[in-house]
Amino acid sequence: MAIGKLAEINFQVETKSKVTMKILLVYPEFPDTFWSFKHALKFIRKKAGSPPLGLLTVAALLPDAWEKRLVDLNVISLTHKDLAWADYVFISAMIVQRDAARALIARCKQAGVKVVAGGPLFTMEYEQFPEVDHFVLNEAELTLPLFLTDLTKGHAQPLYATTEYPDIQQTPVPLWPLADLKYYDTVSIQFSRGCPFSCDFCNVTSLLGHRPRTKTATQIISELDSIYALGWRQGIFFVDDNFIGNKKQIKSEVLPALIEWRKGKRGMPFSTEASINLADDPELISLMTQAGFTTVFVGIETPNEDSLTECSKNQNKDRDLVESVKQLQRAGLQVQGGFIVGFDNDPPSIFQQQVDFIQKSGIVTAMVGLLQAPLGTRLYARMQQEDRLMNDFSGDNVDGSTNIIPKMGAEALREGYRKLLGQIYAPQFYYERVLTFLREYHPPKIRSHPDPQYILALGRSIFHLGIRGVERAQYWRLFFWTLFRRPRLFPLAITLAIMGFHFRQVTKLHVG
């Protein structure tokens, strides 16, 4: 319905308006965070992880006749000429980009350009941005057509929002040609929105709902074709909050289509996010690896059963979490993990328990954060009722901040967290974890596409990590162990060594 309405709007704009709109889509800069990979990207001379999928999708929803440009402040600068060209600046941002978004809005207002804002940050906190001219909140497939209708009639309103969820089988292919892909390490696409689970600290369901809404296999193949046609051969990240939320469709339609699509193609390994119950379905795992999935992020959160009960992470309970992780690794999926400390039921020993679990499981990329309560979550409501809220939700998973008063005491939590991060990302622990993982991992065979930057990264890693780095001994042990024992995994081993450098820099920045 929304797309049909949008087509009608496009027709009205293109036939009745003598001058097309000039839309500048601007993405604020990310701070130096766990997932920014800023320190690692320098090794391959990339500037950002991935292009802004949300803005590129919004661009595809705008009338065809309108002129559009993308400025991703993570890779290029915003110039006075850009702002002078634009009729409107469209901004999308996540919570962690809050400060950068404020600075960007101030600059646009100083230049006299009207600002249209949407995305998670503004959907949750629009009242904190009075300078914005128009808010197009929630999911753009529903709210953007309403804004465009009013805009073409000359009376656009300050706020557009909805409590409904769109049918994303009508969502168009993002306008990838707007992005200069040479600056990026990966490209993101989306198969589904929403999650069937009810973790009380997660705001996914409050933003996107419990029932996973999915695209068709045909849509996904069209998006991959459009990216492939631009010459992209590197990684593709499916940004779904839970890729396996609709197992039936994944197994019967999407994965078979991806397996067929991959035939005869080089490169483009896939990664995504999924719940740990993926480990219970060998058929699903096999289909994913055949389709080219090599990495999956899993919300482990905690090895403490009482804390899992507290946050309603029921899918993680009553199982051997270490063994579940290793099942995925043996089947060909590198597991990246999310962990949290600061639950009410966390004992004083939780910090060492987390270290022991992370080391034993071989989860190399272990994102450990303090418990935070995003607006709209059940945790937020409970903390508000108990008068335990403080500060703003930062949106940064590893900055050592929390917006709740912890039961174990703030000082005990901060000190335990500082030691935890310092331990798991110390070279001795980190490289030992890499070896633990590589001993288990049996990746799918994907014909690689050689990239000179990745070859040069090897030389840079030898210089910065093997010669100048504090981890020299660990680096060379990993280097030769992999070269002689698991030579097929040698490029991955070097990549993980470089990622470890990034994680150490971020850890030093936030927790010393």
What CATH code is assigned to 2-160? 3.40.50.280
- Quote the percentage of the chain above a pLDDT of 90: 88
The predicted structure's pLDDT at residue 2: 45
Mean per-residue pLDDT over the chain, rounded: 93
pLDDT single digits (tens) 154-178: 999 999 999 999 999 999 999 999 9
- The pLDDT value recorded for residue 446 is 76
CA 324, CA 276: separation in Å to the nearest integer?
7
DSSP type of residue 404: B
Structure token digits, residue 410 = 């703030």
Per residue in 409-418, pLDDT tens? 999 999 999 9
C-alpha pair distances (Å), 494 with each of 50, 160, 268, 435, 459:
21, 47, 19, 12, 10
Predicted confidence (pLDDT) at residue 266 exceeds the cutoff of 90 = no
Question: How many other C-beta atoms are found inside a 10 Å radius of the C-beta of residue 222?
Answer: 14
Instruction: Kindly give the residue spans of alpha helices, DSSP state H, lying in 198-320.
Output: 204-208, 217-229, 247-249, 255-262, 282-291, 305-310
**Quick check: 498 and 461 in contact, CB under 8 A?**
yes
User: Is the confidence at residue 267, as pLDDT, over 90?
Assistant: no
> What is the pLDDT at residue 12?
47
Nearest to 160 by CA among 191, 116, 198: 116
For residues 145 and 61, give the distance between their C-alpha atoms in angstroms, rounded to a whole number: 8
How far from chain centre, in Å, is Cα 429? 26
User: How far apart are the C-alpha atoms of 202 and 218, rounded to whole Å?
Assistant: 30
Tens digits of per-residue pLDDT, 427-445?
999 999 999 999 999 988 8
Residue 423's pLDDT is what? Answer: 96
Q: State which amino acid sits at residue 260.
A: E
pLDDT value of residue 134 = 98
Residue 510 predicted with pLDDT over 90: no
Give me the residue label for tokens 């689970």: 197
Q: Please report, for the chain, the start and end positions of each structural domain, with discontinuous segments joined by +.
A: 2-160, 185-440, 452-511
What proportion of the chain, given as a percentage, has pLDDT over 70? Answer: 96
Phi, psi for 71 (deg, rounded to 5): -125, 105
Contact 26, 106 (CB under 8 A): no
Q: Using one digit for the tens of pLDDT, what is the confidence trace for 281-328? A: 999 999 999 999 999 999 999 999 999 999 999 999 999 999 999 999
Number of continuous H segments (helices) and E segments (strands) in the chain: 21, 14
> What is the SS3 string spanning 407-457?
CCCHHHHHHHHHHHHHHHCCHHHHHHHHHHHHHHCCCCCCCCCCCHHHHHH
For residue 450, give the amino acid letter.
P
Mean per-residue pLDDT, 367-375: 95
Residue 114, classed as helix, strand or coil, is strand
User: What does DSSP say about strands 270-273 and 334-341: parallel, antiparallel, or unpaired?
Assistant: unpaired
Phi, psi of 340 (to 5 degrees): -135, 135
Per-residue pLDDT reduced to its tens digit, 46-64 = 999 999 999 999 999 999 9
CA neighbor of 273 nearest in space, from 309, 315, 240: 240
pLDDT of residue 9: 46
d(CA 29, CA 69): 17
What's the CA gap between 72 and 300, in Å, rounded?
Answer: 32
Q: What angle do CA 328, 260, 244 make, to 5 degrees?
A: 40
The CA angle 487-334-259, to the nearest 5 degrees, is 90
pTM: 0.93
Contact 121, 93 (CB under 8 A): yes
Quickly name the fold that domain 185-440 has: TIM Barrel (3.20.20)
Write down the H helix ranges in 230-376: 247-249, 255-262, 282-291, 305-310, 321-331, 350-361
Cα 395 to the center of its chain, rounded Å: 12
Contact (Cβ atoms closer than 8 angstroms) between residue 453 and residue 45 = yes
